Structure 1
């Protein structure tokens, strides 16, 4: 297995291509990372800035440079002993537009398309207008308005020889079964002759072949005569006049899609989306042929040695994440001798852990980001800050209560169609048996809704259609909430829904013990089966610690998997309704899981995080703001658990999805140490800026909401300004302050719409939004340089040293804790970014390369504002990982006891592998010790008698501090005074290994 030593995440797009990355390989190598870790490399929608809207899984993006450039980058990395990990997006594809061939084929041929079962489309919609059709909710206004305005047009695509309906960038093919009527409408003999070859066409596969031959004749005609004759056809359907407009409408009504206003998607969409993003359609990767098609390019690149590992995006969107991971590992393992490196993007709730049977190395690091972020917060600040927020917002609701309200709203206003799909799947089960057919759709719908609202984690992960004990732990929490919320009359329906969602097998199937092994459900859209059970039993379930066993099971697993598919199909064919009931249950369970996951994300990350403002540094992806702070013991326990279960998981503190940059959060965490001072500051600033409020009584008391931005949004704005104010920005720098205001305005608009209080994405209140923007620019106007701007700058300067101390600790812990440290592009210097797109701005790699050096980070502390001290720590600690890869990769993790006056302000642990040792020491909650200090360093005399106790055997060695180049002596008592080891920096990493002259070490 090519285990990364450290990764660096790159966001690729047309302005930062493979060749752009190639140009900086020398820097990445010198910094010390072993692997680049890129955003998706497959072909995405044109102009995509992220790559998650894949339109062609089979090709490398030409906008990124194509496969030749990818191979060029890979070859350069491998020359340096480095590697390449790529992001894979198996859950969804970009649709709409004109570039997804699979999707366009579905629009053209409907249910009989070769790709009809590649997507989660419900072809049996209860709405007659959608039965057998795909909803296309991409119109900017109601269908009738757009049709009458002439913005829906019939066109002829000469390059592909097909008629299409075009709306802006969106293209919808006309079914060839309608070509005969289209060609005849021109009233030309030559076109009428061509029409004859299209007569009588249906959507059946044989007729699709006949249509292809008829198209060849049409292509030859156009090549001879040009497209001018075809213009007569288009004129017959031009929508400027009522008669041709009605003809166009009737043509559209005959197609396998329904063009609709974008607002209809919430209630009527009949295919699975990524969350509520209608431009991304869910892919049925659980189907064997779809799995192979989605990964064909990845498998070829892996087999050729171009890529060395994969990161799986949004694992919770899949019908069966466990089965997917297992199958992926088997396929990759069959292509190379070493086991594959696989990590998954997974959001874990408080107390939740990644399942052991997923056959992956671990997560992409959100869980570590939460652990280390909570460590930086002072638990004593939780209650005072909560009280201050209650006074501002007028509500003392806890974060969990805010989330519950958001969940209710999301189900009703944003995910109503997804809830309907899950409820209807269960209602179909009810109708199959006499004993349950009187459970109404309404009672089932209410039960499913309440279960989803109260569900405490993203989803369940059943095995063979049955919930596990872990699943039941979380499901029981949801059941309890639903029982307390629903009227007693609905409890019987709730109990049946519980049983259907994996609590027990169907009663009629329970008598057949083999039934559960014969079929597994796929996502919505049919009773297809996959090889989950037999493949799972045949394979070796490789976890991070035993992944090298996976290749030995591959051949047998594939054999048994094929047998399982055949057995399942045979079971359904011979046993009829009984097996169909089982399949229907598993389909419903998949739909329920694919409802609770986006509901959790939308309600928490994209709504509640923007409504609850106690302290925004805890409102981060993967975190629970209600879980305000963690103790040192908590952090140690999390590291030890990861070391035992997933020692090669990624460790992240910044990502392309973060809400606030790692150094924004580190600075805001300081407010937890000074809650009273911060509360007083908020009140003073609110009073100072009252004259700049908009749209109401400018003298409104704090707590009134009849003005823009309103008390909650204003308080969050102040936190944001404090968090992201650049260290080197002066209040008198008009251009610099203006640039900051533009960035914050972009964040503010997104925050207001995500909060969904007074404006939202569906129905924006532009007047309110403009008032909020005006308020922001007024309080940051140049004339306020001696007023609010001065106050803001002064306050930031006061807490900045403690924030920097937090940042340096966070950086150190990420690189020395069990796992694989991941650097998000550019964050080796200060990361005061906000939510995307701010966190995806261009990176100045020349500046970073120039900041590399041989001097110790401690020598850079005095100039901490330029961030070179942070980069120096990254460079030095990655050098230590290169010098002794096994020490920080596989070494034992030993929490160290700290005693004395300020023991709570120190974290310390040791790593040991054979004779190699390291001791990591860091400062936390340092604000009281940094009073009046311009440096992020606690003066030695303030530590008093605080000391660290080292393990036995750690005294008899020569020690080197990799961050200061000091050579401390460890006394035989093994008790080390903190004032001695933290004299040069707020962090220290001591090792009995000294740096060697720089030589290249291959990634292992």
Structure 2
């Protein structure tokens, strides 16, 4: 089978059989039956999560899966900006509150999956003690090696310095405006420079610039024979003789660490015992704070520090510490260092050893220097704690472990990774594609081109977006890499004529052409796929390059494939190759996900993390193929539909997907809306909102429009959500405005357009026509959402429900999708459903009719989720290790159904869902029950003959036709077109 990427990069998805011992190793850990993701923060604490546990268990969940809960920056809504790996976030709760949460889970027979962040930490501010220590002591800090810092960058002005891009304006202007202030903490005997909430410690070796023991004011304050004055002078001199911040020998670093603290305490004591000294220091601090400009003492003091404060815009060009993407406040950790690993994982491993955690989600796997080595080390540590055994490097983890890893549709996760799978982006995209009519691709492309008045190739757009990211956001990291490559080139007479600029430009081309997020080279043995990706990228870069000498690309290829003979050690060349791998991933993420996906709006339901906007739709056969491959290679990989990183929730995508089934109607209505929402021109005469952004806006409304009528208050709330989203979207697109260079005029125009469209007084005709269209496509959209939910909960893998998604969730990218759900409403809906299901005389068809008649309240989705999760919980082995069988379909409805079976020694279960059914429901008064008559499923010869449907509780029987065992759809299918048919017949609880 050949899958093609948007960049035109073809790779066969080979059927790589794994050794049987590998398959066995994957069975060691206790695998969750299902998980429920909760976003913890100060608005949703451990206490609230604890109260939710009984509800989750009744829903059918086996494990609670929570966002990071270690101490993060105050006010963090997500927990990924950790500042202390050794403490629980006090905003979420205490250690005791965490223990109560764990105890409640265990009381209900449930486990806990923790989300951990090994790649980076929150910095700036004043709360990360490791970062503060680095700012104070530079390379002499005991934590200097914890962070990924280039102390010797190309810019000579930054030699042995750390660039801190935090200022809101140019450094000279900030200095003259006296926005930087020196402060003295008399109780600790230490100095710090402050800029709003940010603290920058002063290097103790430079304290004499402040203490100034020769100052005339001091001689007036003390008598000639006062012993305090010489004591103060001696201390001043002692600070100046500390080992410098550039010291890297352990002996000298320890001497500095010990002595500076002794001297600080000495200074604090002198100040406490001698008010004149405290007054003098206060005067000196005030004197320095009054000095502005380049000739002032503040500037002189700052020039002597191990950091250089800079305008935040400087980061894109000169930053010399690795960040999480382009976020200056998140600094990369050198987790490959065992000391760093042990320190950052101590609390989490302790909780694992105490049985409080049963699994881990590893955030941002592609940011790690060597992911495979990281997982091997993690597994070894966990095995030692849990079993007191020495694990083999390739052993699978003793608890459930998944990695947040984006896999392209032509890429395989290597079987070398000793984990249970990924967090499921690839599943979300393949299942989404099943509900898109690929036959409409050409027509949707024409509609988009006609409306947006432009044509563009998505692969080219990705290339250009990645180039833009490297130019504006991540140029500093590229310069560091070019400098490292330049050192390798200069060591060889054959390559030393490659200039730094030539190397940098060539590297930029290679990265822009990279077809996957990254490769995983970590030694002399280079995998076939990694070699293919590198060769592809280098060749595409060579063809695109306008350089006069293109031999530089062969040099880069040889370095990356470790084939270049050089005086530079093999270790240094490998280090460069591995550092480049850490760079291609964030460039792809920022260029592809956070730029191109906001610029190409043909059908935004495919503009997702790991999605492929250049390709519309997947066939049923492709869906079966991916499921079979997952069962073979990663049977316990997580299955996700919505996550905290989704750009559009699964339910929103399901409704947008209906547009692919009615492309002509969509074109007509969207062109009509353009006329109804005429936009005024800007002062420059340019259209206020560009056509592309308007096209995006209409699709956003289709996906997120509330199902219940809105009054003025709820309409206002909805309008605010869409306003916020549209501003974020146009900034991410980076065409007419951006995060680093906001265009206020354009953003106001976009905002005004949204407000006009969503105002009943300003544009009632548009709202009336829009709501009429949305209601026409609503039912097939909601049925799409139910169908993909059934597929998620029954396909090979481990399903995760994102918080609140057991009812309808029509959310957009964060922060919209991180708003806390109304769990009281969900609990009440469950109570009502359970009461109805418990009635002895309950007619199941009547219940289905009732749920269908009130689809807007979401109980129908809760019913599907509850019934399926509970069924899965009762038959966990079937869904975790059972076979997956593709089911062929015959009859009039064959093209509109997807069916498969799960089978083990004791059970045979058939799952059937509808797809591409808009024509059956749009403008139809009644469900198309008769349409499915005559549609039959072709079963294997040894399949059972009698079944009962989980949802409708109707029996379904088989018939034989020409030696083919065929199953008729249950009678309830015409009303409720979903079925989970099991044998022996089972009644749902």
> Match for 2:322 among 242, 258, 272?
272
Structure-1 residue corresponding to 2:243:
202
Structure-2 residue corresponding to 1:24:
52
CA distance in structure 2 between the aligned counterparts of 1:159 and 1:22, rounded to whole angstroms: 41
Return the offset for 1:829: 0.7
CA distance in structure 1 between the aligned counterparts of 2:949 and 2:869, rounded to whole angstroms: 14
Equivalence map 1:769-918=2 (5 Å): 769-784=747-762, 786-852=764-830, 853-854=833-834, 855=837, 858=848, 859-918=850-909
Note if contact 1:106-1:115 (Cα within 8 Å) is conserved in structure 2: yes
Structure-2 residue corresponding to 1:476:
535
Return the offset for 1:266: 0.2
Return the offset for 1:184: 2.4
Return the offset for 1:429: 0.7
> Match for 2:82 among 31, 45, 54?
54
CA distance in structure 2 between the aligned counterparts of 1:934 and 1:822, rounded to whole angstroms: 35
Note if contact 1:883-1:995 (Cα within 8 Å) is conserved in structure 2: no
Equivalence map 1:341-420=2 (5 Å): 341-420=400-479
Structure-1 residue corresponding to 2:486:
427
Return the offset for 1:241: 5.5
Equivalence map 1:650-665=2 (5 Å): 650-665=638-653
Structure-2 residue corresponding to 1:461:
520
Q: CA RMSD in A?
A: 1.9
Note if contact 1:104-1:173 (Cα within 8 Å) is conserved in structure 2: yes
Return the offset for 1:751: 0.3
Return the offset for 1:34: 0.7
Note if contact 1:399-1:612 (Cα within 8 Å) is conserved in structure 2: yes
Return the offset for 1:60: 1.4
Within the alignment, does 1:715 sit opposite 2:773 as a pair?
A: no
Note if contact 1:423-1:445 (Cα within 8 Å) is conserved in structure 2: yes
CA distance in structure 2 between the aligned counterparts of 1:98 and 1:121, rounded to whole angstroms: 19
Note if contact 1:32-1:879 (Cα within 8 Å) is conserved in structure 2: yes
Matched position secondary structure for 1:919: strand
Matched position secondary structure for 1:782: coil
Structure-2 residue corresponding to 1:607:
595
Within the alignment, does 1:623 sit opposite 2:611 as a pair?
A: yes
CA distance in structure 2 between the aligned counterparts of 1:456 and 1:780, rounded to whole angstroms: 40
Structure-2 residue corresponding to 1:687:
675
Structure-2 residue corresponding to 1:173:
201
Equivalence map 1:901-940=2 (5 Å): 901-933=892-924, 938-940=927-929
CA distance in structure 2 between the aligned counterparts of 1:242 and 1:482, rounded to whole angstroms: 46
Structure-2 residue corresponding to 1:961:
949
> Match for 1:13 among 38, 41, 47?
41
Runs of 5+ consecutive residues of structure 2 not aligned to the other structure: 1-28, 223-227, 245-251, 388-396, 838-843
Matched position secondary structure for 2:130: helix
Structure-2 residue corresponding to 1:442:
501
- Report Cα offsets for 1:462-504 as digits up to 9, x if no partner: 1415532111121222122112112474321110111111242
TM-score, normalised by the number of residues in structure 2: 0.90
In terms of mean alpha carbon deviation, does 86-95 or 487-496 score higher? 487-496
Change (3 A) 1:223 1:13: farther
- Report Cα offsets for 1:429-459 as digits up to 9, x if no partner: 1112233222222222222111111101001
Note if contact 2:648-2:811 (Cα within 8 Å) is conserved in structure 1: yes
Note if contact 2:188-2:265 (Cα within 8 Å) is conserved in structure 1: no
CA distance in structure 2 between the aligned counterparts of 1:248 and 1:366, rounded to whole angstroms: 50
Structure-1 residue corresponding to 2:729:
751
Change (3 A) 1:694 1:962: farther
CA distance in structure 2 between the aligned counterparts of 1:914 and 1:70, rounded to whole angstroms: 41
Aligned length: 913
Equivalence map 1:725-764=2 (5 Å): 725-730=705-710, 733-764=711-742
- Report Cα offsets for 1:818-873 as digits up to 9, x if no partner: 01100111111111001110001121111111111333673522211001110111
Equivalence map 1:549-698=2 (5 Å): 581-691=569-679, 694-695=682-683
Within the alignment, does 1:234 sit opposite 2:275 as a pair?
A: no
Note if contact 1:964-1:984 (Cα within 8 Å) is conserved in structure 2: no
Note if contact 2:912-2:979 (Cα within 8 Å) is conserved in structure 1: yes
CA distance in structure 1 between the aligned counterparts of 2:463 and 2:769, rounded to whole angstroms: 37
Matched position secondary structure for 1:969: strand
Structure-1 residue corresponding to 2:17:
none
- Report Cα offsets for 1:249-283 as digits up to 9, x if no partner: 00000000000000000000011111111111111
Return the offset for 1:162: 1.8
Structure-2 residue corresponding to 1:211:
260
Within the alignment, does 1:947 sit opposite 2:936 as a pair?
A: yes
Note if contact 2:959-2:966 (Cα within 8 Å) is conserved in structure 1: yes
CA distance in structure 1 between the aligned counterparts of 2:740 and 2:613, rounded to whole angstroms: 26
TM-score, normalised by the number of residues in structure 1: 0.88
- Report Cα offsets for 1:119-146 as digits up to 9, x if no partner: 1111111212211010000000111111
Note if contact 1:447-1:490 (Cα within 8 Å) is conserved in structure 2: no
- Following TM superposition, the consecutive aligned residue runs of length 4 or more in structure 1 with deviations greater than 6 angstroms are none
Matched position secondary structure for 1:363: coil
CA distance in structure 1 between the aligned counterparts of 2:754 and 2:236, rounded to whole angstroms: 63
- Report Cα offsets for 1:29-77 as digits up to 9, x if no partner: 1111111111111111111111111111111111111322112111111
Return the offset for 1:299: 0.9
Note if contact 2:239-2:263 (Cα within 8 Å) is conserved in structure 1: yes
